[in-house]
Amino acid sequence: MTRADPITEEAVLVPTAVGDLAGVVRRSKTGLLPGVVLVDGSGPGSKDEWGGWPEWVADCGAVVLRHDKPGCGGSPGGWRDQSFEDRADESLAAARVLRKVPDVTGVGLLGISQGGWVSLLAAARDPEAVDFVVTISGPGVTPEEQERGRIARALERHGIEGAERDAALAWVDERVERLLAGEPAESVLAAQEKLAENDWYDVVVFAAYDDPGVLRFGARIMAFDPLPSACALRCPALVLFGGADEGVPVARSVELLSAALPGLDAGHSGIAVFPGASHGLFMADPDPEIPRRDQLAPGFLPMLEGFLAGVDRDDSG
């Protein structure tokens, strides 16, 4: 990018089943460019809470659309009322909006964390709407398996071992089983509260698992398997992980997605792990003295730029 290139941001609306979600389209390079819809991870999120990601991705040679999650940033609806299918349809709606922007040559999805699952599902649900996919720290396992592993590692960090660790993970498993069986979230919470005197309680409850809305959301997504969606992809995919990610089973995800993704042998798709990088592909915690962009894993942005430059809508299927 040269300083002569204008940086523009335009407000857009993404029509969904719950109403129009507010979005922004960013461009920092001129000419024909691929479009990228940013697909957020877990929890709430608005178009104004993406940090530097819209800038970084746009500077890699893309027209970037970011939008509110339902119920965030003044947009209607509620993200906790969604399923992954709802999130996928929302991402496809954003892709259709971006495809109408002048000089956009094709449209892909870039999903971070939970957004990786959603991006794979969206591309599988409507192959004609998605020309490429990029996932960052999107696990190759189910949310249930990913969360169990994350909690197990958290228990280890807190020094909870042996029978106490077994009891904690037994409740984690029971909690999921109850939710997937359709038990009301309030009933599951009542049973959970009876375990509050255990030393492991705060670790397995964390900040989210004491909220009935979050539990109901979890019941809709915990059994999702990303591998059928990965196998069904008809477009190029770039799958990225941080080697120091403590929240995702990186080695297991690479193994499963390497076997599932079409196009790896032909070079149309790729998987990379950045040694020492975190869940967000950063090499260090935020430092006010250092631009956050400079803390991204070395080679990540050049790899993304190269992938975007090689995406051609005419041969992406």
The tens digit of pLDDT for each residue in 143-176 reads: 999 999 999 999 999 999 999 999 999 999 999 9
Q: Is the pLDDT of residue 4 over 80?
A: no
Is the pLDDT score of 289 beyond 70?
Answer: yes
Share of the chain above pLDDT 90, in %: 92
Give the pLDDT confidence score for residue 233 in this predicted structure: 94
d(CA 147, CA 260): 21
Given a cut of 50, is residue 101 above it in pLDDT?
A: yes
* pLDDT score of 312: 59
pLDDT band at 11 (very low <50, low <70, confident <90, very high): very high
R_g over Cα of the chain? 20
Q: Is the pLDDT of residue 315 over 50?
A: no
Average pLDDT over residues 24-42: 96
- pLDDT tens, 226-285? 999 999 999 999 999 999 999 999 999 999 999 999 878 877 899 999 999 999 999 999
- pTM value is 0.94
Rounded to an integer, the average pLDDT of 61-69 is 97
> Across residues 46-61, what is the average pLDDT?
97
* pLDDT exceeds 60 at position 183: yes
Residues of the chain with CATH 3.40.50.1820: 8-142+224-310
pLDDT of 264 reads: 85
Average pLDDT, the chain: 94
CA gap 116, 199 in Å, rounded: 33
Alpha helices in the chain (DSSP H): 53-59, 84-99, 114-125, 143-157, 162-180, 185-193, 201-205, 212-221, 227-231, 250-260, 300-310
Q: CA 281, 283, 288, 292 torsion: positive or negative?
A: negative
* Predicted pLDDT of residue 311: 86
Contact 14, 72 (CB under 8 A): no
State mean pLDDT over 122-130: 96
Q: In this structure, are residues 118 and 91 in contact, taking their beta carbons and an 8 Å threshold?
A: yes
Work out the pLDDT band at 1, boundaries 50, 70, 90: very low
Domain 8-142+224-310 is of which CATH architecture? 3-Layer(aba) Sandwich (3.40)
pLDDT at 2 over 90: no
Given a cut of 50, is residue 72 above it in pLDDT?
Answer: yes
Record the tokens describing residue 208, joined without a space: 């989210």
